[in-house]
Chain A
Amino acid sequence: MPGVKITEEEVHRGLRGARYVTTSRVETAVFLALVLEKPLLVEGPAGAGKTELAKVLAEMLGTELIRLQCYEGLDEARALYEWNYQKQLLRLQADKSLGADASWASLSKDIFSPEYLLERPLLRAITAPRRAVLLIDEVDKSDEEFEAFLLEVLSDFQISVPELGTISARHRPVVVLTSNCTRELSEALKRRCLHLYIDFPGAEKEAEILALKVPEADEALRGQVARFVHGLRRLDLKKAPSIAETLDWCRALLALGVRGLDVAVVRQTLNLLLKHEEDVRKAESKVASVLAGSRR
């Protein structure tokens, strides 16, 4: 039954090794997804590291990451496969001009062979020579019809191409789905997945992330930055700053030669953290109090 022999300890070390700071909750969920061979549905606010988790997972397993970005109107031809019509046609033309007289049977077998198949992410994940990580990003953006179709693929990991027959997965890919909850996913999809909710990390965890990704900054600045961003997220903002934005901000502060945070510096650089004019204005009036709160 178990898909891979892996221990929780290994997951912990693997994620660490791939420079992903996380909680035991995430580790347990990832471990289970690997062992039970179940898709992992990751939800949470934008910028909390959902997509990153899949990337890190691929790095940890030392395998390929295949990404399917969902959007409104995504259809099977974009997600699964398409016949390379132009190439088939060229082949027919070439056959004709070279004077090869092949029978229809052999010809149709030829031009409907994998060589003329354009593999899209789902088919690629299934036919991958080794176990791949399939990231289905922002599944909530896709249409409901597509979600239903996805269910079918995720339950059997096989795809039928009428001209070729059924293709089953040589290795079941590790599937990670992410969702920002712009719409509710169907119960059926949720039922088939393990569920993980990733929230923004606490101030300490974020300082740890900073230490990993921006080691040039000294510890005091990292702590200050993490605590300030943490305080900022508590304000009622349209869009809370993501982890990536925190990192950018910290790098920017370094580039500006800032050693410690003060009101003037924060005000000047606030647009690196907040991208809505409304948010910036709201936060500007509160910089002093948030900063004071983060000193403690």
Chain B
Amino acid sequence: MAGLPVSLAEGIDALRAAGAVGVERERLRDGLAAAIVKDEADRPTFDEAFDRFFATGAVERRKRRAARSGDAAGIGRRGEAARGEGPTRDATDEPRRASPASREPRRNPAVPEHARSAALRRRQRALLAKPFRSLDPLEAEELDAFAEILARRFRGRLRRRLRAARRPGRLDFRRTLRRSVARGGVPLDLELRRRRPGRIDVVALCDVSGSVRHATSLFVALLGPCRDLLRSLRIVAFVDHAIEATIEGGKLVPHGPLDLHAFSDFGQVLEEIERGDLAPFGRNTLLLVLGDARNNRRAPRADVLGRLRARVRAVWWLLAEERARWETGDSAIAAYRPHCDALLECANGAGLLAALERLGR
């Protein structure tokens, strides 16, 4: 129905609703809307479709009213097309017409601000689902603007997760007994063991070359605000060599010159990291590598990653590429794979977000 997603259950609800409210036009409209429309932003679409299916003289009146209030001209136009389709149809037609057709956000001035934000949210979701590779400059900018909100939400979630992990766990027998002494040996108050996961040190290697720059900028925007939830956060930016960097205002700021147009060279970078004192490694360190592992046919030096792996708690490779493209062309991920504890697909915003959520586990 006009691109609204209506599930089977909602279709049945709509039928029952129609049965309950009867056929008086406006009541039927409200009744069906309550059962079908789950997002106020969809209401104009629903109204439009309703008028199309239950076309009467009222449509003309609505149309005129809409035209007067400067409502989108589209409704009028479609209403005209609908008139050709003939008069009233049975309500039973509606559920069957449900189809998960493409849903574009509409900018309708008649939609209240609040509902427009629902359309915006849908737009943001679409943005997150789109591969970084196919973002056009405009969309990339949109994603950048959205990243701030996203980061705030992500931070909240991560904090809650980390705190939830600290929620009371099993019974702490020793402390319970000790407290029970004050109550004549009756353990009235239970002492529960608190789990305290050691906060982790994160070292993030970020490829900042052109091919993965959208992924990197989102990664940095998300991780930046979470700094205080981690024990430490070290960022190393690289293209063909590694430079220490910090996150300032959600943007990556390398502490030295970096040729953004050079060819990525993971082997060289890994070597530099192993050699230098860019990042402290220890049993509590989580090494994140964000890149596409496209090494431009240079030596991958996976053995270096293997040695680094032995020095840290875990290595996660956030691969900014669709799974289908892994191990194709000049990708060196096949060589790195055995040394990674997790290989996570971060081809789009949603993937990257999901990968970072693992920090909370």
Q: Give the interface of A toward B (CB within 8 A).
A: 1-2, 8, 24-25, 28-29, 31-33, 35-36, 38, 41, 43-45, 72-73, 85-86, 89, 93, 143, 181, 183-184, 187, 190-197, 199
Chain A contacts of B160 at CB under 8 A? Answer: 72-73, 143
CA distance A195 to B41 in the complex (A): 12
- The verdict on A36 contacting B43 (CB below 8 Å), with A89-B186, A191-B7, A191-B38 known, is no
- The verdict on A85 contacting B190 (CB below 8 Å), with A31-B20, A36-B16, A181-B117 known, is yes
Chain A contacts of B115 at CB under 8 A? Answer: 197
Chain A contacts of B27 at CB under 8 A? Answer: 8, 24, 28
B21 at interface by CB-CB < 8 Å: yes
A190 adjacent to B20 (CB under 8 Å): no
B35 adjacent to A43 (CB under 8 Å): no
Please give the distance in Å from A96's CB to the nearest CB on chain B: 10
B38 adjacent to A32 (CB under 8 Å): no
A89 adjacent to B188 (CB under 8 Å): yes
User: Which 5 pairs, one residue from A and one from B, show the smallest C-beta to C-beta distance?
Assistant: A28-B30, A190-B38, A29-B34, A197-B40, A194-B34
Please give the distance in Å from B190's CB to the nearest CB on chain A: 7
Residue of B nearest to A25 (CB): B30
CA distance A190 to B34 in the complex (A): 11
Mark each residue of chain B from 167 to 187: 1 if its CB lies under 8 Å from any CB of chain A, else 0: 000000000000000000011
CA distance A189 to B21 in the complex (A): 24
B117 adjacent to A191 (CB under 8 Å): no
Please give the distance in Å from B55's CB to the nearest CB on chain A: 21
Besides the contacts A1-B16, A191-B7, what 8 more A-B pairs have beta carbons closer than 8 Å? A29-B30, A32-B20, A72-B160, A73-B160, A85-B190, A191-B9, A195-B35, A195-B38
Please give the distance in Å from B70's CB to the nearest CB on chain A: 16
CA distance A199 to B38 in the complex (A): 15
CA distance A56 to B104 in the complex (A): 38
Residue of A nearest to B26 (CB): A24
How many A-B residue contacts, CB cutoff 8 Å?
Answer: 77
Contact of A24 among B13, B30, B40 (CB under 8 A): B30
CA distance A190 to B190 in the complex (A): 39
A196 adjacent to B9 (CB under 8 Å): no
B13 adjacent to A194 (CB under 8 Å): yes
B31 at interface by CB-CB < 8 Å: yes
Contacts of B27-51 to chain A: CB distance below 8 A: 27, 30-31, 33-35, 37-40, 43
Indicate the size class of the contact surface on chain B. 20 to 34
B9 adjacent to A35 (CB under 8 Å): no
B137 at interface by CB-CB < 8 Å: no
Chain A contacts of B13 at CB under 8 A? Answer: 36, 38, 194
Chain A contacts of B114 at CB under 8 A? Answer: 44-45, 181, 199
Chain B contacts of A192 at CB under 8 A? Answer: 9
B17 at interface by CB-CB < 8 Å: yes
Chain A contacts of B190 at CB under 8 A? Answer: 85
B38 adjacent to A93 (CB under 8 Å): no
Contact of B118 among A2, A85, A181, A196 (CB under 8 A): A181
B164 at interface by CB-CB < 8 Å: yes
A36 adjacent to B20 (CB under 8 Å): yes
B21 adjacent to A197 (CB under 8 Å): no
CA distance A29 to B32 in the complex (A): 9
Please give the distance in Å from A61's CB to the nearest CB on chain B: 17
B121 at interface by CB-CB < 8 Å: yes
CA distance A85 to B34 in the complex (A): 44
- The verdict on A195 contacting B20 (CB below 8 Å), with A45-B114, A89-B188 known, is no
Chain A contacts of B35 at CB under 8 A? Answer: 32, 194-195
Residue of B nearest to A196 (CB): B34
Contact of B31 among A32, A181, A190 (CB under 8 A): A32
Q: Which of A190, A194, A199 has the most CB of B within 10 A?
A: A194
Please give the distance in Å from A289's CB to the nearest CB on chain B: 20
CA distance A100 to B39 in the complex (A): 62
Please give the distance in Å from B118's CB to the nearest CB on chain A: 7
Residue of B nearest to A2 (CB): B20
Please give the distance in Å from B22's CB to the nearest CB on chain A: 8
Contacts of B1-26 to chain A: CB distance below 8 A: 7, 9-10, 13, 16-17, 20-21, 26
B197 at interface by CB-CB < 8 Å: no
Residue of A nearest to B10 (CB): A191
CA distance A196 to B37 in the complex (A): 9
28 pairs across A/B with beta carbons < 8 Å?
Answer: A8-B27, A24-B26, A24-B27, A24-B30, A28-B21, A28-B30, A28-B31, A28-B34, A31-B20, A33-B34, A35-B20, A36-B13, A45-B114, A73-B164, A85-B190, A86-B188, A181-B114, A181-B117, A183-B153, A184-B118, A184-B121, A191-B38, A194-B13, A194-B35, A195-B34, A195-B39, A197-B115, A199-B112
Q: Which of A36, A93, A196, A197 has the most CB of B within 10 A?
A: A197
Please give the distance in Å from B238's CB to the nearest CB on chain A: 36
Chain B contacts of A38 at CB under 8 A? Answer: 13
Please give the distance in Å from A146's CB to the nearest CB on chain B: 11
Chain B contacts of A190 at CB under 8 A? Answer: 38-39
